[in-house]
Amino acid sequence: MLTIRRLSIEDARTLIAGARAKAEEIGVPMCIAIADESGQLIAFERMDGGKITSTIIAQDKAYTAAGAKRTTESYGSASQPGSPAYGINSAIGGRLMVVAGGLPVIVDGDVVGAIGLSSGTPAQDTQCAQAGIDHFLASRA
Amino acid sequence: MLTIRRLSIEDARTLIAGARAKAEEIGVPMCIAIADESGQLIAFERMDGGKITSTIIAQDKAYTAAGAKRTTESYGSASQPGSPAYGINSAIGGRLMVVAGGLPVIVDGDVVGAIGLSSGTPAQDTQCAQAGIDHFLASRA
Amino acid sequence: MLTIRRLSIEDARTLIAGARAKAEEIGVPMCIAIADESGQLIAFERMDGGKITSTIIAQDKAYTAAGAKRTTESYGSASQPGSPAYGINSAIGGRLMVVAGGLPVIVDGDVVGAIGLSSGTPAQDTQCAQAGIDHFLASRA
Amino acid sequence: MLTIRRLSIEDARTLIAGARAKAEEIGVPMCIAIADESGQLIAFERMDGGKITSTIIAQDKAYTAAGAKRTTESYGSASQPGSPAYGINSAIGGRLMVVAGGLPVIVDGDVVGAIGLSSGTPAQDTQCAQAGIDHFLASRA
């Protein structure tokens, strides 16, 4: 039997709060998704004005970051033409996201879930996702 | 009427054992899938720590290698921008994998099934898939 | 943060062994799937002669039993015409199975995974799934 | 290693010819699909006037009859409300057909493929599917 650590809904709210604060600060309404360590959705918020397409993309970024235990951005470089993971972006029915904005949430070395943002530029999505994680880790300190 | 040779479940277990031994040796927990010559799943194991996204990807690598009778890696080069199979990675709902790690299992010149690995780098996935085939072929000698 | 207990690959093998022994005893080649507590596949075996359609159905029975923390058979009665869950069989792209043969695996009151069988009658599928659980629990005693 | 017997494309043409002759005789333009023993398509013909929806349904009837080694009609009765396979019609993304018109093709006790018809009433579909099998078996005598 294995013992797994996983984000709670309270943790998910904290992650969203941190990401949302940054999104408001930069003035970009975001879709924010939190997945557990198995890639299953725990919480989701679409800020007023967040993009419809991003409701799916944010979830899939969180799914990918949790399931593959790496940032979606890292897949972006690994899947460029000529690179080893080229073509992986269409895997799992297209759910495997290689666009930046999905980050695993790591506690004591374990991936316990992930956060996925979408609606801004990939750089903005990543910035807000990181802000969510920073806020979450600070709340645990 | 055609006569087809196909991996048995016993063969599938042997293939998995060989791949798993190599995965343990290199210290990368893998998802390992064995498909029959029609691409249908015969056996699957997710080693403790194998990636969630890889549960699907390993199966689809085995499906692709069996169904197309070639390595998924060969599709990787054939599907680069400007190459004839460009864009084929999203075919069949994204099941057609062009990332290395899926190998057909060939006996006496016939494709009798395939093995698909995922969770490591594509090179590690291929290394462990090949180890599975080597172990299987050695067991038949 | 939550702490979750989950079947290991070793546990999954034990579950499969118990189910397979019963399947051999009753002479029905089965597809046997083990999912973790999040419904993600851990291990799968299609016995020689197991049905092709059952490769999917067995996995989806395990997914349903783990994810919904109940037997697929219980959904069968709850989804009869006029019953509250009528029509739920087509939910999640048809993955939610209401045919008997999927059982949650429960340890100390926690659902730690599930087993799904398919290829026989629903009663046979359930019988073999239960045999898998009995064998697993006995191995822990 | 297993040895499997499977319909050839020549066999598939013979099955279609027999089904088409009956469809012409009863004046119902049909969609006719032949699958191998793994449920994969070997041949397909839509007679002029055959229904568009039936291009999919005929294939799925053949897939189901081959994969589950039984007539789709038998699933129709087994999946009535209150019966053990109730709700199975939505399995495998809805590909599992429980409407009559899909028959396994059996040679010397082995399922070597299947034929699926659609466009008429289920009774007409079955009649023409059976005519295809009769013609095929007669051609082998």
Parse chain C into domains and list their residue ranges.
Answer: 9-140
pLDDT tens, residue by residue, B38-69:
999 999 999 999 999 999 999 999 999 999 99
pLDDT tens, residue by residue, A58-96:
999 999 999 999 999 999 999 999 999 999 999 999 999
pLDDT at B133: 98
Helices and strands in chain A: count of H runs, count of E runs: 4, 5
Give the pTM: 0.97
Q: Return mean pLDDT, chain B.
A: 97
Query: CB distance from B121 to chain A under 8 Å?
Result: yes
Task: Give the residue-averaged pLDDT of A109-137.
Answer: 98
User: How far C43 CA lies from chain D's nearest CA (Å)?
Assistant: 19
At residue D36, does pLDDT exceed 90?
yes
At residue B92, does pLDDT exceed 90?
yes
At residue C141, does pLDDT exceed 90?
no
Query: CB distance from D2 to chain C under 8 Å?
Result: yes
Strands D110-118 and D102-107: antiparallel
At residue B127, does pLDDT exceed 90?
yes
Judge contact between C126 and C38, C-beta under 8 A. Answer: no
pLDDT tens, residue by residue, A11-61:
999 999 999 999 999 999 999 999 999 999 999 999 999 999 999 999 999
Q: Which CATH class is domain B9-140?
A: alpha beta
| Chain A CA closest to residue C136 | A1
Question: Which residues on chain D are in Cβ contact (under 8 Å) with B3?
Answer: 3-6
Q: Are C122 and D89 an interchain contact pair (Cβ–Cβ within 8 Å)?
A: no
pLDDT at A92: 97
> What is d(CA B40, CA B67) in angstroms, rounded to the nearest whole number?
9
> What is d(CA B34, CA B50) in angstroms, rounded to the nearest whole number?
16
Question: What CA–CA distances, in Å, run from D12 to A133, B80, D25, D42?
Answer: 59, 37, 20, 7
> What is d(CA C100, CA A117) in angstroms, rounded to the nearest whole number?
39
Question: Which residues on chain C are in Cβ contact (under 8 Å) with A2?
Answer: 5-8
At residue D38, does pLDDT exceed 90?
yes
Task: Give the residue-averaged pLDDT of C94-121.
Answer: 98
pLDDT at D141: 84
pLDDT tens, residue by residue, C3-23:
999 999 999 999 999 999 999
Query: CB distance from C47 to chain B under 8 Å?
Result: yes
Q: Return mean pLDDT, chain C.
A: 97
Task: Give the residue-averaged pLDDT of D18-37.
Answer: 98
Angle at D71 between CA D65 and CA D77, to 5 degrees: 130
Query: CB distance from B9 to chain A under 8 Å?
Result: no
| Chain B CA closest to residue A82 | B80
> What is d(CA A54, CA A62) in angstroms, rounded to the nearest whole number?
12
pLDDT at C47: 98
pLDDT at A57: 98
Question: Which residues on chain B are in Cβ contact (under 8 Å) with A41?
Answer: none
Task: Give the residue-averaged pLDDT of C91-118.
Answer: 98
Task: Give the residue-averaged pLDDT of D70-95.
Answer: 97
Tell me the sheet residues that pair with A35: A41, A114
Query: CB distance from A35 to chain C under 8 Å?
Result: no
Of D38, D81, D90, which has the smallest distance from its Cβ to C94's Cβ?
Answer: D90
Of D1, D7, D107, which has the smallest distance from its Cβ to B5's Cβ?
Answer: D1
How sure is the predictor about A141, in pLDDT bands with cuts at 50, 70 and 90?
confident
Give the whole-number percent of chain A exceeding pLDDT 90.
Answer: 99
How sure is the predictor about B20, in pLDDT bands with cuts at 50, 70 and 90?
very high
Q: Cβ-count burial of D134 within 10 angstroms (0-12 exposed, 13-18 middle, 19+ buried)?
A: middle
> What is d(CA C12, CA B43) in angstroms, rounded to the nearest whole number?
12
pLDDT at B141: 84
Question: Which residues on chain A are in Cβ contact (under 8 Å) with B80?
Answer: 81-82, 86
Exposure class string for A101-124: b at 16+ Cβ within 10 A, else e:
bbbbbebeeebbbbbbbbbbebeb
Query: CB distance from A40 to chain B under 8 Å?
Result: no
Judge contact between B89 and B74, C-beta under 8 A. Answer: no
